[in-house]
Amino acid sequence: MPLRERETPRLQADADGIAQAAALLRGGGLVAIPTETVYGLAADATSGEAVAGIYAAKERPSFNPLIAHLPDLAAARRQGVFDAHALALARAFWPGPLTLVVPAGPDCTVCDLARAGLPSVALRVPAHPVAQAVLQAAGRPIAAPSANRSGRISATSAAHVLADLAGRIDAVLDAGPCEVGVESTIVSCLDGAPRLLRPGGIPRAAIEAVIGRPLVLAGEAGMAPISPGLLASHYAPAARVRLEAEAPRAGEAWLGFGPEPDAALPEESLNLSPAGDLREAASRLFGHLRRLDAMGPAIIAVAAIPQEGLGEAINDRLARAAAPR
């Protein structure tokens, strides 16, 4: 599908901007919308043509299925079949940064292309009030992957969206920076055994507390990745990334966490959270990676991040940014 060059206006997230965004979506357009995790590149999930536009704008491999966004659990249950675990998780964490992969229901209207031909469907009810308003006004499931070009760092502000997608989408609805900063946690509930497909904004321990048992991480050694977002190289800055660094070496940019090391820091230096707060670090992760990368270093050295709470999602994204490509 040829990519149509177009103006990409920045709409304000007021009643008028929300109405314009919803009208564009109902007409088959592409609009980047804010959610509490990252900006999503939204399109009508029931329209194959609209969804094809997402893949074209992102230059995304078309085998990647997309998340369908709904305003509430009742709307989500019209699309998918919820077992007891899925229901408990939805009630505990929706609206919020959780995506549930469930069997598609008999009346599912999410098109085949958005589901990549799978018998399952990924559903999410976002908490962001602007996303909520757009979903209410659109009145149909809205497909929305992160609003960045495929393989690039996810967008957590309207400026990031425009840097990747200006001229390729119909509008961006600007509601300022995203609060959570990493994508939703994805859990599949397909065969009675909930699996963690992607660590994200809801920590694993909070999910395990609700289902009362440990989650298996799909895609761990030897398992085929069921969630293509788990493919190794993803979220890639232009610079190479060196993980769990104690301090920057000569010539490296530095991305710190917690107190800075005693070593001299380069000019290209940012800190995810000087206080060592994992929430703050998650919300700054993609923005800081973009800012450091734009300074053109060959290598970004990153301080160690504890593997607890949101640290699991942060380390997952950093490992992908560091993967060989």
Residues that bind ligand TXA (CB under 6 A): 35, 37-38, 40, 64-67, 97, 99, 101, 115, 118, 120-122, 124, 144-146, 183-184, 186, 197-198, 226-229
Our CB check for ligand TXA shows the closer of 164 and 268 to be 164
- Choose the stretch contacting Mg ion; rule: CB under 5 A; options: 146-154, 194-202, 258-266, 277-285: 146-154
- The amino acid at 51: V
Residue number with CB closer to ligand TXA (101 or 253): 101
Q: Which is nearer to ligand TXA, 143 or 300 (CB)?
A: 143
**Residue 286 CB, nearest approach to ligand TXA (Å):** 11
Q: Is 146 in the site for Mg ion (CB under 5 A)?
A: yes
CA 25 remoteness from chain centre: 20
C-alpha of 166 from chain center: 19
- Which among ligand TXA, Mg ion, none contacts residue 271 (Cβ within 5 to 8 A by kind)? none
Structure tokens at 128: 């962001």
- What is the CA angle 201-313-249, rounded to 5? 135
128 binds, among Mg ion, ligand TXA, none (CB under 5 to 8 A by kind): none
Long-range contacts of 150-153 (CB under 8 A, 24+ apart): 150/58, 150/59, 150/60, 150/61, 151/233, 151/234, 151/235, 151/236, 152/235, 152/236, 153/235, 153/236, 153/237, 153/286, 153/289, 153/290, 153/293, 153/321
In the list Mg ion, ligand TXA, none, the entry touching 34 (Cβ below 5 to 8 angstroms by class) is none
Chosen from ligand TXA, Mg ion, none, partner binding at 283 (C-beta under 5 to 8 Å by type): none
Q: Do 102 and 192 touch, CB atoms closer than 8 A?
A: no
At closest approach, how far in Å is the CB of 230 from ligand TXA?
Answer: 7
- What's the closest the beta carbon of residue 21 comes to ligand TXA, in angstroms? 14
Residues forming a β-bridge with 42: 31
CA distance 175 to 262: 38
Residue nearer to ligand TXA on the CB measure, 69 or 288? 69
Interface stretch with Mg ion, choices 79-87, 138-146, 164-172, 209-217 (CB under 5 A) = 138-146
Q: What per-residue string of b and e applies to 164-187 under the rule 16 or more CB within 10 Å gives b?
A: bbeebbbbbbbbeebbbbbbbbbb
CB of 188 to ligand TXA, least distance (A): 6
Q: Which residues bind to Mg ion, rule: CB under 5 A? A: 146
